């Protein structure tokens, strides 16, 4: 099974992407993977005690990637008229607030612990749960939008 990890640091990230995390829509999965990589870069940067301007750079990358991804998802959910779009959008707003909190916590005290809470909220609670719910809806109602390894044979 393919794993995605960011290396190059003295300490390798403890969070690893596994293809079983995929929700089955290739573009979305690639964005989730990208966000995962940004988190690993931050984790490595914290572990190496890099100065704030470097850590801040990785945080900006994470924030941009997250904002872009959430906007893409919200457009997708609008297009497919996902019934729980309001609830999903509210969860996204919460994630952006958490992202801002993560940044200020890391600025005050750069520790890997600050990352754990964000990672659990974003990934474990959101991607593996809420995002999977809309993916199931899309699979049922718009199977042609599903891509990647779980894509149905075309035509």
Applying CB under 5 A, among 73, 103, 122, 123 the residue interacting with Fe ion is 73
**What distance in Å separates the CA atoms of residue 64 and residue 84, rounded to the nearest whole number?**
25
User: In the bound complex, what is the minimum distance in angstroms from residue 63's beta carbon to Fe ion?
Assistant: 15
> Burial level of 147, CB count in 10 A (0-12/13-18/19+)?
middle
User: In the bound complex, what is the minimum distance in angstroms from residue 21's beta carbon to Fe ion?
Assistant: 11
Name the residue with the smallest CB distance to Fe ion. 131
Closest to 130 (Cα-Cα) out of 97, 85, 98: 85
Question: Quick check: 27 and 72 in contact, CB under 8 A?
Answer: yes
From 54-62, 110-118, 131-139, 146-154, give the range in contact with Fe ion by CB under 5 A: 131-139
Applying CB under 5 A, among 114, 131, 135, 138 the residue interacting with Fe ion is 131
User: In the bound complex, what is the minimum distance in angstroms from residue 138's beta carbon to Fe ion?
Assistant: 12
Contacts of 18 (CB under 8 A, 6+ apart): 1, 3
Is 43 one of the binding residues for Fe ion (CB under 5 A)? no
Output 46 or 135, the one with its CB closest to Fe ion.
Answer: 135
Is 29 one of the binding residues for Fe ion (CB under 5 A)? no
**What distance in Å separates the CA atoms of residue 85 and residue 134, rounded to the nearest whole number?**
9
Which residues would be at the binding site for Fe ion (CB under 5 A)?
A: 73, 131
């Amino acid at each position: 099974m393919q794993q995605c990890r960011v290396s190059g640091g003295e300490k390798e990230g403890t969070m690893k992407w596994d293809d079983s995390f995929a929700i089955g829509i290739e573009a979305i999965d690639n964005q989730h993977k990208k966000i995962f990589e940004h988190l690993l870069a931050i984790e490595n940067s914290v572990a190496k005690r890099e100065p704030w301007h470097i850590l801040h750079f990785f945080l900006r990358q994470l924030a941009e990637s997250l904002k872009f991804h959430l906007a893409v998802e919200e457009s997708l959910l609008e297009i497919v008229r996902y019934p729980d779009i309001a609830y999903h959008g509210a969860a996204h707003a919460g994630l952006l607030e958490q992202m801002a909190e993560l940044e200020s916590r890391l600025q005050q005290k750069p520790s890997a612990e600050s990352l754990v809470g964000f990672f659990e909220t974003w990934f474990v609670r959101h991607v593996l749960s809420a995002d999977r719910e809309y993916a199931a809806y899309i699979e049922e109602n718009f199977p042609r939008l599903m891509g990647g390894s779980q894509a149905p044979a075309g035509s």
